[in-house]
Amino acid sequence: MIAASTLSHSDVTMLLLSLGVLLGLARAFGEVCRRFNQPSVIGELLAGIVLGPTVLGALWPDGFAALFPREGNLPIALQGLTTIAITLFLLVAGLEVDLSTIWRRRRAAFRLGLFGMLIPFAATLPVGLLLPARLDAGPEVTRTLFALFLATAMSISALPVIAKILIDLRLFRSDMGMMVIAAAVFNDLVGWLVFAVILASAGHAASGGFPVWMSIVLTLIFVLGMLTVGRILIDRALPWIQAHTSWPAGVLAFAMVLGILSAAFTEWIGVHAIFGAFIFGVALGDSRHLRANTRTTIDHFISFIFAPIFFASIGLRVDFLRNFDLPLVVLVLVLATVGKVGGSLLAARASGTGRRESWAIGFALNARGAMEIILGLIALEAGLIGERLFVALVIMALVTSMTAGSLVQFVLGRQRVVSFANHASPKTFLPSLEARTRRDAIAELARAAAEAAGIDARAVEDTVWNRERVVGSAMTNGVAIPQARLSGLSHPIVAVGISRAGIDFDAPDGQPVRLILLLLTPKSEAALQLRLLASMARAFQEARLVDRVVEQCRTWTEFLALIRTEVEQRAGGGNGA
């Protein structure tokens, strides 16, 4: 074998161990965040902070040094992996940019996107020019470049977080939703382009290579070429690839290879690898020939495996406690929020949008999410900013992302999609009812529900039964949803009963009922009752799913797993990083 630098036996052991621990903790923390309806990127970052110098390094320096050494082969191997991870993550981010959305709403998107960028940009620029040292400018950067970077960092948005918020509030397909998305796409494109120019300029000052003007010209040629000729060529190539290569291997490899080579090109001309992957992703995602399940395979693997590794690895590099500078954090947070919310609000009002909606647009576009963190990390690596400012940018990104959803919800008075499954529990899941009659089945479920709620079973049973006698609760497909509104209840309770033998519920289609969902809601919340009822009806509109519940679900966990993977997945999700 040719002699070469190689990983030793213990290198391999430690690489796998550190990778497994990093990914495991990142996903676990990410899940906790999603449980509280927050972007998973927050948990992934936090996992890195726990495993990095901030916590593990402070508490157990030897363990940290063994798991994530600073010298030798391991950091190189890990960095190679995170470089690929972030490159592919930006490819996926590019896929989500839908050029036709902007084009269809180009006037509103242009106005909202441009002013939503220009106002925070203009507000931040003088601060950056006047206070570079206080703001923790990097060592190898001019005052102008630093101010330009800071202004750009304040002006961008985070498309995935914003999309997730809009989907959660069922606003994604609304006029307002599409306008916000179009503006965010515009922000993303322009923001990254400006950042690319800044990087090219800084790269020249720092390391040599191409002259600045050449880097900028090449960047513009690349972007324009990729979004015009490149886009058309990709659209032509995809059907050929799907016809003449094995599927989906050919398309997957096509996307990966060209994404990676685009990244290599932009890195070479002095911008940054991820910029090329992002622009290629935009061009690829625009093709109507890219199948939904190809997107899904790329998206799942990259969002759920590569992205957590990358975001967790950020926490490994920086000590977040030692570099926490409260006045700087507050300043960045105020500058970002006032500029962005204010700018977007003004632009929306000027376009004739109502007051409440304009505030909602401002709050939505204020979310910075993963994009801000990536921008900050690259700036840190390029010497544009110091570690204190990086930490402040990360915290700003997290705070704006975490608050955006609740603020939009608050100003609009919208409510999230509800799922009946959140109100059931192992205690109220009866996988094989003993009852053989309608009355007995209701009594059996009422007892379980009353016990879980801590109220009187008899009263529940009577109220449900009185309603049932008047308006039968059986629907089609062998499902019945008896219900009652009770004054003694503080929150909704759902009980789920399965009868494999079937019970006569006097159903309109004459079928025996095999799945019974008892729904109890507080007397005051009529709207919630209707929404939970709709959630149940929607879940079991397909006979196939009822069959699977009746045949397969013997435990609460199996039932919940089926609902989460078959029903709620359909309703829309995505990563929301």
Peptide bond into 248 cis (omega under 30): yes
* Minimal distance, residue 280 CB to a second copy, in Å: 11
* Minimal distance, residue 54 CB to a second copy, in Å: 11
Residues 145 to 164 in contact with a second copy, rule: CB under 8 A = none
Instruction: Compare residues 243 and 470 and give the one whose CB is closer to a second copy.
Output: 243
The answer to whether residues 370 and 41 touch, using CB atoms and an 8 Å cutoff, is yes
Strand, coil or helix: what is 385? strand
Residues 173 to 232 in contact with a second copy, rule: CB under 8 A = 203, 207, 209
* Minimal distance, residue 251 CB to a second copy, in Å: 9
Q: What residue type is assigned to position 285 of the chain?
A: G
- The gap from C-alpha 310 to its chain's centroid, in whole angstroms, comes to 15
The answer to whether residues 362 and 412 touch, using CB atoms and an 8 Å cutoff, is no
Distance CA 74, CA 313 (A): 13
Distance CA 267, CA 263 (A): 6
* Minimal distance, residue 491 CB to a second copy, in Å: 20
DSSP state of 474: B
List, in sequence order, every residue forming a beta bridge with 513; answer none if it has no partner.
503
Instruction: Compare residues 146 and 505 and give the one whose CB is closer to a second copy.
Output: 146
- List of residues 6+ apart from 140 with CB closer than 8 A: 202, 205, 206, 383, 384
* Binding residue for a second copy, selected from 59, 79, 524, 530, defined by CB under 8 A: 79
Instruction: Compare residues 59 and 257 and give the one whose CB is closer to a second copy.
Output: 257
* Minimal distance, residue 381 CB to a second copy, in Å: 8
Q: CB under 8 A: which stretch of 211-219, 396-404, 510-518, 554-562 binds a second copy?
A: 554-562
Distance CA 358, CA 330 (A): 25
Instruction: Compare residues 465 and 556 and give the one whose CB is closer to a second copy.
Output: 556
Residues 302 to 321 in contact with a second copy, rule: CB under 8 A = 303-305, 308, 317-319
Instruction: Compare residues 278 and 505 and give the one whose CB is closer to a second copy.
Output: 278
Residues 3 to 62 in contact with a second copy, rule: CB under 8 A = 3-7, 9, 12-17, 19-21, 23-24, 27, 30-31, 34, 40, 53
Residues 248 to 287 in contact with a second copy, rule: CB under 8 A = 248-250, 252-253, 256-258, 260-261, 263-264, 267-268, 270, 273
* Minimal distance, residue 46 CB to a second copy, in Å: 16
SS3 content of the chain, % helix, strand, coil (to 5): 70, 5, 25
Instruction: Compare residues 26 and 345 and give the one whose CB is closer to a second copy.
Output: 26
The answer to whether residues 147 and 121 touch, using CB atoms and an 8 Å cutoff, is no
Closest CA to 145 of 195, 198, 190: 198
Structure token pair of residue 407: 């603020």
Instruction: Compare residues 221 and 561 and give the one whose CB is closer to a second copy.
Output: 561
Residues 375 to 434 in contact with a second copy, rule: CB under 8 A = 380-381, 387
* Minimal distance, residue 105 CB to a second copy, in Å: 26
Structure token pair of residue 58: 């402070």
Instruction: Compare residues 16 and 527 and give the one whose CB is closer to a second copy.
Output: 16
Query: Cβ atoms within 10 A of the Cβ of 257, count?
Result: 10
The answer to whether residues 513 and 478 touch, using CB atoms and an 8 Å cutoff, is yes
String of contacts with a second copy for each residue 58-77, x by CB under 8 A? ------------xxxx-xxx
Distance CA 371, CA 158 (A): 6
Task: Tell me the site size for a second copy, rule CB under 8 A.
Answer: 92
Instruction: Compare residues 78 and 148 and give the one whose CB is closer to a second copy.
Output: 78
* Binding residue for a second copy, selected from 111, 134, 143, 289, defined by CB under 8 A: 289
* Minimal distance, residue 26 CB to a second copy, in Å: 8
Distance CA 488, CA 169 (A): 29
Residues 437 to 476 in contact with a second copy, rule: CB under 8 A = none
* Minimal distance, residue 23 CB to a second copy, in Å: 5
DSSP state of 325: -
CA separation (Å) from 222 to 215, 217, 255, 275?
Answer: 10, 9, 17, 10
* Minimal distance, residue 312 CB to a second copy, in Å: 12
**Is residue 495 within a helix (H) or strand (E), and if so which, with residue range?**
strand 493-503
* Binding residue for a second copy, selected from 134, 291, 349, 447, defined by CB under 8 A: 291
The answer to whether residues 492 and 483 touch, using CB atoms and an 8 Å cutoff, is no
* Minimal distance, residue 308 CB to a second copy, in Å: 7
Is 569 a binder of a second copy (CB under 8 A)? yes
List, in sequence order, every residue forming a beta bridge with 518; answer none if it has no partner.
495
* Binding residue for a second copy, selected from 221, 321, 561, 571, defined by CB under 8 A: 561
* Minimal distance, residue 523 CB to a second copy, in Å: 31
Instruction: Compare residues 225 and 248 and give the one whose CB is closer to a second copy.
Output: 248
DSSP state of 104: H
Residues 87 to 106 in contact with a second copy, rule: CB under 8 A = 87
Concatenating the DSSP letter of every residue in 210-241 gives: S-HHHHHHHHHHHHHHIIIIIHHHHHHHHHHH
The answer to whether residues 379 and 430 touch, using CB atoms and an 8 Å cutoff, is no
Instruction: Compare residues 250 and 488 and give the one whose CB is closer to a second copy.
Output: 250
* Binding residue for a second copy, selected from 240, 321, 469, 524, defined by CB under 8 A: 240
